[in-house]
Amino acid sequence: MSKERTIKTMFIISCCAAILINLDHGILPACTSELMKDQDLNEVEIGLLGSLVFFGLVSGSLVAGFVFRKYPSKLIICCTTVGNILSLFLFPISNTYLVLSFSRMLTGFCQVFAVIYFPVWIDRFGK
């Protein structure tokens, strides 16, 4: 694959990941009352669901440097974007609080790689 094509591919992946991250930040606030009714959750459980994504971000930050040094960045971004899509898909089809919680932590974990890499990518390849 040519360098120009690789840059365009990474740009498209970056845009998709940014859209997913922004959609995720609006999911929980938009459906709080429905989620409380459907899953029979209280305010504490909803608040925990809202904060678990940040726990995933922090835990992902701890390993991201090692992962970026060991594996190609394109592979990492592709895999974590797919992981983010799967975790966002898992959230609305979940029936248990444990799976909802896992989905939120996985979402944050997958997002951190994009959050760390995209500013570096823009600085290096932006025109």
CA–CA separation, 48 and 20 (whole Å): 21
pLDDT at 127: 65
pLDDT at 1: 62
Quick count: other Cβ atoms within 10 Å of Cβ 109? 23
pLDDT at 122: 78
Q: Could you give phi then psi for residue 103, rounded to 5 degrees?
A: -60, -40
For each successive 10 residues of the chain (127 residues), what is the average pLDDT? 77 79 76 86 90 93 95 90 89 90 94 88 75
Nearest-10 crossing angle of helices 43-70, 3-30: 170
pLDDT at 50: 87
pLDDT at 38: 87
> HSE (CB half, 13 Å, CA atoms) of 79?
10
The reported pTM is 0.82
Nearest 5°: the CA angle 100, 68, 65 is 75
Nearest Cα residue to 27 out of 81, 90, 91: 91
Nearest 5°: the CA angle 103, 21, 53 is 40
Owner of token pair 């970056």: 14
